[in-house]
Structure 1
Amino acid sequence: FRTVLRLFLEQDGYRVAEAENGIEAINVFEQLHPDIILLDISMPDMDGFECCHKLHSLAQDQHTPILMLTSVEDERSINRAFAAGATDYVTKPVLLPILRQRLKRLIEQSQLQQKLIAANQQLQLLVNLDELTQVANRRRFEEYLALEWQRQIRSQQPLSLILCDVDFFKSYNDTYG
């Protein structure tokens, strides 16, 4: 089945890396950081659940989808696969056109997720920095002060704060920016 699947995916333009077992799959993932992982439950050395859990923990920052593609279809195994971090679950025999659409959807969702994370990081910068000076603004000051206050409470250390007021700063800022 793996050979048929590889040929099908390569015909669709995918570059495919194969692994003989779960340990090899983890090594291949760490080297290649693929866009999607197809994983069976029945594998030598380590079952698909354990491999899925390890891959999911490694792929968390990248949001790499894990598709369990297996002949095991009992409810307990399905629940266990999703609990281990599987993104989707397809049972064999699978219709290849259905698999094609699932792969396309999972990769698109992963790419959208990554774009959303990048946009949120950019938004966080815009919310916390003054656009003109690139200096942290009042919102960031208040967040930082709250963090430092909590740390001071935990460590029982004093917290010092210096506030400065520059006279006639508005006219300086209006003139020089």
Structure 2
Amino acid sequence: MDSNKPTILVVDDEPNLRSILNCAISHNGDRVIEAPNGEACLLICQQQLPDLILIDAVMPDMDGFTCCHTLKKTYGETCPPLIMITALSNAEFIDRAFNAGITDYITKPIRWPILRHRIDTALANNRLQKKLDEAHCRIEYLEQELAHQELLTRSAPL
């Protein structure tokens, strides 16, 4: 498998859905890691932060809302995009999901072309954000170098 392909973590307590998602996502060439619950998701992220996380909203022990909130709190700006998969579609749950830090959501039953589009969009936006962050760091570095050079020029004997 191409090492440049993104790694996607699928978090769902239903083994059949995890398997179907794994098959659909890996068919596109992406690497897939599976987790049966929110706690396993957090452990996997400690070892290897994926490029994107697909997470179920309703799971036993730690639900997707709590897991997303914990991921955002732990990883901040470096947190991968979070796409919640849920049968819940009322405004209260959608607001709760976005407040927990998700990037996007997909309702069940899953429409595969929509899921693929949302995954691709989230990954592309994340790549662009990383490039923008790198450019900002480079600009800050160059501004510091310029200020340092100006200071040296001013203090040099004539």
Q: Aligning the two structures, in what range does the TM-score lie when normalised by the shorter sequence?
A: 0.7 to 0.9
CA RMSD of aligned residues (A): 1.9
Partner of 1:23: 39
Partner of 2:118: 102
Kindly indicate whether the alpha-carbon contact (under 8 Å) linking 2:71 and 2:79 is maintained by their aligned counterparts in 1: no
**TM, length-normalised to structure 1:** 0.73
Partner of 1:41: 57
Question: In structure 2, which of residues 135, 139, 145 is the aligned counterpart of residue 119 of structure 1?
Answer: 135
CA, structure 1 residues 137+94, in 2 after alignment: closer, same or farther (shift >3 Å)? farther
Partner of 2:108: 92
For 2:80 and 2:54, how far apart are their aligned partners in 1?
Answer: 11
Kindly indicate whether the alpha-carbon contact (under 8 Å) linking 1:63 and 1:113 is maintained by their aligned counterparts in 2: no
Question: In structure 1, which of residues 7, 10, 14 is the aligned counterpart of residue 30 of structure 2?
Answer: 14
The DSSP-based 3-state class of the residue aligned with 2:54 is: strand
For 2:114 and 2:48, how far apart are their aligned partners in 1?
Answer: 26
Output one character per residue of 1:142-171: Cα deviation in whole Å (capped at 9) or x when no partner. xxxxxxxxxxxxxxxxxxxxxxx86x82x3
2:83 is the counterpart of 1:70: no
Output one character per residue of 1:6-54: Cα deviation in whole Å (capped at 9) or x when no partner. 1101111111111111110101111111000001111121111110101
Kindly indicate whether the alpha-carbon contact (under 8 Å) linking 1:50 and 1:84 is maintained by their aligned counterparts in 2: yes
The DSSP-based 3-state class of the residue aligned with 1:16 is: strand
CA, structure 1 residues 60+136, in 2 after alignment: closer, same or farther (shift >3 Å)? farther
Higher strand share: 2
Query: Which is bigger in relative contact order (C-alpha 8 A, separation at least 6)?
Result: 2
Structure 1: stretches of 5+ with no match in the other structure: 139-164, 172-177
For 1:14 and 1:95, how far apart are their aligned partners in 2?
Answer: 18
Structure 2: stretches of 5+ with no match in the other structure: 1-16
% identical aligned pairs: 37
